[in-house]
Structure 1
Amino acid sequence: MKDNSHNELEVTMPVATIDPTTQPTEMAALSQPQPTKLEDPFLVTFDDSFDAEDPRCWSKGKKWPVTDVLAATGFNRIMVSTIMAPTLTTIAKELDMTDLEAVMAMSAYILATAFGPLVLGPLSEIYGRKPLLHVSNIWFLIFNLVCGFANSKGLLITARVLAGFGAGAVYALQGGVLGDVWSAEQRGKSLGIYLLIPLLGAAVGPIIGGFMAERTTWRWMFWSTSAFQAAMIVLSFTAFHETYGPLILGRRAAKLRKDTGDQRYYTAAERLDGSRLVRNVLLRALTRPLRLLATHPAIQCTALVSGFEYGVLYIVLSTFADMWIKHDHTSIETSGLHYIAIAGGELAGSQLGGWLMDKVYKRLTCRGNGEAKPEFHIPLMLPGAVIGALGLFLYGWAAQFGLFWFVVDFGMLMACFGLQMAGMPISAYVIDAYPDYASSATAASQFVRSLTAFAFPLFAPKMYSVMG
């Protein structure tokens, strides 16, 4: 189908049943009531009672493999973000880097994860979650492998940036896939189980990196994670199924049009995009995360709060090993083991926080006479923020005055427990508040988080030096 004035291909859909001049704008369409199957027999939707193709109706035996594959992918990509922490001094010496350049090599990866979701998240709302996962997996594998062979600081930093861009897909897909598959009542449980594996990556990375730095070359950090990524690529091709509802319905509508010869069958998403050029559809999708961040106060507030928490966490992750090595004169291996406290706090926070969040959500829904709201996830933020602040205070105070190592680690465990418990409700709120564009909304929040995770560690060494 062509536009005579522009002579460009349009998005295929049965425009004969739709007046383009009456189509609502993208954001307005989200708040307007949509026609039902009874009102329009040519509207293709999932069945209200049960539909085997609806991801929300999948069996747990199909939901969990999809969730677990994404979680395992996230584990590797997040582990790579921190695995360099204990070996920054070693890498800097071999590649003739300053301290700032060494930190930049680690943080550049995080910076790239700010921009990856802005592109990959919206594209997953056009082409589906599955293709974007596969493409980003292969992209990440290639450039993470290059990091292992880098013989100059320029090549290492460049490869880290490109690897981080591919790694960023998991942050956008996280919100989209969990929103596609799990209901709001299961949001805490699904987030808790999903985060169980990736959170290990942030803390296990420095542990593995420390042992590798002591016993072999630092390059094995990248070679080993690349081997793991290759295995995940094979697994994702076999166990990950498409979860994006509008794409599944679009395929169903296309099949109906082909089988019946009736071009009037359409989906709600096709109705919105009906007469728009492919170029315009892509432009609107790719700018959606930044438009959400610029115009939606809910996204702005959640992004700022989670961004600050993320930045503080990465200050700790990037300096924790250095604190033990320089302040307590421990070995690189031993310094890596202290990251177990970080892993323990985050894991405990995700599991207890997920369970409590579902309990609070159900209770508030019952009080509201069965009316569920995304805001019902939020109350758990306050106790989490208080516990996190107390933990950070204990960590800093105990480290400054040289108290027994267990007190220092316990303070960090408390801090990570609280930060995780406070952060999960933010993710749940964004997923449920923007169900049709969960990946774009998540990408908008992740943009700020990744920027703070990149920037905060850059000034941390100077801050620590000035403050003693």
Structure 2
Amino acid sequence: MSDTTSTVAVTHADSKHDNADRLQLERKMTQAVEEGHDADIPSSAGYVLDEEDRADHDIEKRQEAGPATSSDDENDPNIVWWDGDDDPENPYNWSATRKWLNTGCVSFQTFISPLASSIFAPGVPLVLQEFGSTSPQIATFVVSVYLIGFAAGPILLAPLSEIYGRVPVYHVCNVGFVAFSVACALAPSLNSLIAFRFLAGLFGVAPITNGGGTVADMIVQKHRGTVLAAYSVGPLLGPIIGPIGGGFLSNAKGWRWNFWLLAIISGFITVVMLFVMKESYAPVLLNRKVERLRKETGNLLLRSKLDVGLSPGDFFKRSAIRPVKMFIYSPIVSIMALYTALTYGYLYVQFTTMTEVFQNQYGFSTALVGLSFIGLGVGSFIGVVIYSGTSDRYISRKAAEADKLAEETGTEKMGMKPEYRLPLLPIGAVLIPIGLFLYGWTAEKKVHWIVPIIGTAFGGIGNS
């Protein structure tokens, strides 16, 4: 009898434990959807049907599917949401023209910002000559210090974009980038140039930090791969095209004109974005709708369905801490972050050495040395074409196969998974060391200059 009683007690305790775990998981899922990311969310969350009554398993499509809310919230008349599935204020329902204008502006600025990281690399010897320095470490640092700004900027800019919206962050950072590009062009010393380069990188990283979010705000998951591939052309080709043009410009007009050119082009797109860009972040749009309805109705109890109930300060703290926690506690995040840091570091090692290598080993002039970067550009372009041509079709096919299997086995449909984007990653991981080996070994042995350039092309494909 006592054994039976003990067994029942243990079973009851296990059941309570399972229920507690289930409730905790549901809370994580709800919080994750409200925050706009897919951590801890099964891909079936937010299951909706499109106009053809087919499953659209987009876990990020919270504007349509909505967060996991209680029945009280669903029936609460004070909860503000979109005015139906065809609400024109919902970024998913914008016209193709509006979506491409937003994406095009961000993509263009995403091209200019990485271009600034390397455009004056061929002119670094002229910089050192003007300021009387012979240090190879300074020559490398004056180029790469821009990336320290790139690393520091997202910690601040990403949370701000979730509090105030994407567009205000773009505008402020665009103005800052133009200002510090002008400051670099007028730098009176090497130390000031390094400082201005850092600040230019800090402001210039905004489109790279928030550009992917802008695309996700407007484009459904099944079409997102192609758009993201087009968007990613800028970060890939910008650092490559920069030295090509910068070599000729430095030779003709001096290294300072590289920064004047950046200020002119970025100033133009800044003005265009002021008139063209439209806010796309759903929580901010709904908060604006709430404020408008409060004024019109006088009902101060109205609140957005995506309002998590945090003050801007608390929201900023959580948004700033969340990436650190994900990096520490999520192995896939930490592995991907370290891998990206490693490959990006190798890329900029090439940027900072190719000028010296091709001038000293192969006798390239300041003007022609920029052409040595063509291999990286061609490789990056090939990689983008391959990815954009296969990713969306592959993810749709795998999702259909998974759903069919789920129907046959009577299990839950999982839909589109982020890992369906990864099949090409191992190929790129192999091509990068191959490219680095060809570049380094053949340049050291003074093999014909086309061979190390071909080696950089392999690296370009892998990096893309």
Tell me the alpha carbon deviations over residues 243-291 of structure 1, each in whole angstroms, 9 at most, x when there is no partner. 1011011111222222222233221332x12xx4443233323333333
How many Å apart are 1:126 and its aligned residue? 0.3
Verify the 8 A CA contact 2:81 2:286 in the aligned structure 1: yes
Q: Corresponding residue for 1:29?
A: 31
Equivalent residue number for residue 74 of structure 1: 110
**Counterparts of 2:338 and 2:235 in 1: how far apart (Å)?**
22
Contact kept? 1:84, 1:206, Cα under 8 Å: yes
Aligned to 1:15: none
Q: Indicate if the aligned counterparts of 1:72 and 1:198 stay in contact, CA closer than 8 A.
A: no
Report what 1:427 is aligned to. none
Greater shift, 361-370 or 382-391, is seen at: 382-391
2:357 corresponds, among 304, 319, 323, to 323
Q: Is the 8 A contact 2:114 2:234 kept in 1?
A: no
- Selected match of 1:296 from 326, 330, 338: 330
Question: Out of 153, 159, 163, which is 2:200 matched to?
Answer: 163
- Name which of 148, 152, 156 aligns with 1:119: 156
**Matched residue SS, 1:46:** coil
CA–CA separation in structure 2 for the residues paired with 1:44 and 1:177: 22
Unpaired segments of 5 or more residues in structure 1? 1-23, 421-468
- What is the aligned partner in structure 2 of residue 406 from structure 1? 450
- Once the two structures are superposed, residues 282-301 of structure 1 have per-residue CA deviations (whole angstroms, 9 ceiling, x without a partner) of 33233333333233333212
Q: 1:6-405 alignment to 2 at 5 Å?
A: 29-30=31-32, 31=41, 33-35=68-70, 38-46=74-82, 49-97=85-133, 98-270=135-307, 272-273=308-309, 276-369=310-403, 371-405=415-449
Answer whether contact 2:212 2:228 (CA < 8 A) is retained: no
Three-state SS of the structure 1 residue aligned to 2:279 is: coil
Contact kept, 8 Å, 1:196 with 1:351, in 2: the verdict is no
Alpha-carbon distance in 2 for matches of 1:142, 1:25:
45
- Tell me how large the CA RMSD over aligned residues is: 2.2
Q: CA deviation at 1:331?
A: 0.9
Cα 1:277–1:334 change in 2 (3 A) is closer
Worse-superposed segment, 256-265 or 205-214: 256-265
Is this contact kept in 1: 2:30–2:68, CA < 8 A?
no
Q: State the alpha-carbon separation in 2 of the partners of residues 52 and 188 from structure 1.
A: 24
Structure 2 letter corresponding to 1:408: P
Indicate conservation of the 8 Å contact 2:290/2:302, yes or no.
Answer: yes
Task: For CA contacts below 8 A with separation 6 or more, give which structure has more relative contact order.
Answer: 1
TM-score, normalised by the number of residues in structure 2: 0.80
Greater mean alpha carbon deviation, residues 134-143 or residues 399-408: 399-408
Q: Determine if contact 1:89/1:99 at 8 Å carries over to the other structure.
A: no
TM-score when normalising by structure 1: 0.80
Q: Which moved more, 1:157-166 or 1:47-56?
A: 47-56
Alignment: residue pair count: 395
- 1:384–1:419: 8 Å Cα contact kept in structure 2? yes
**Aligned AA (1:388):** I
Whichever residue aligns with residue 77 of structure 1, its letter is: S
Local SS of the residue matching 2:424: helix
- Secondary structure, aligned partner of 1:368: helix
CA spacing shift, 1:278–1:413, aligned 2, 3 Å: closer
Using the aligned pairs only, state the percent identity: 31
Amino acid at match of 2:90: D
Change in 2 beyond 3 A, CA 1:278/1:192: closer
Deviations 1:105-155 (A, max 9, x none): 111111111111110111000000000000000111111111111111111
SS in 2 for 1:269: coil
- The one-character-per-residue Cα deviations of 1:14-73 (angstroms, maximum 9, x if unpaired) are xxxxxxxxxx98886125822477443432223563221111222211111111111111
Secondary structure at the counterpart of residue 79 of structure 2:
coil
Task: Choose 1 or 2 for highest CA Rg.
Answer: 2
Kept after mapping to 1: 8 A contact 2:375/2:456: yes
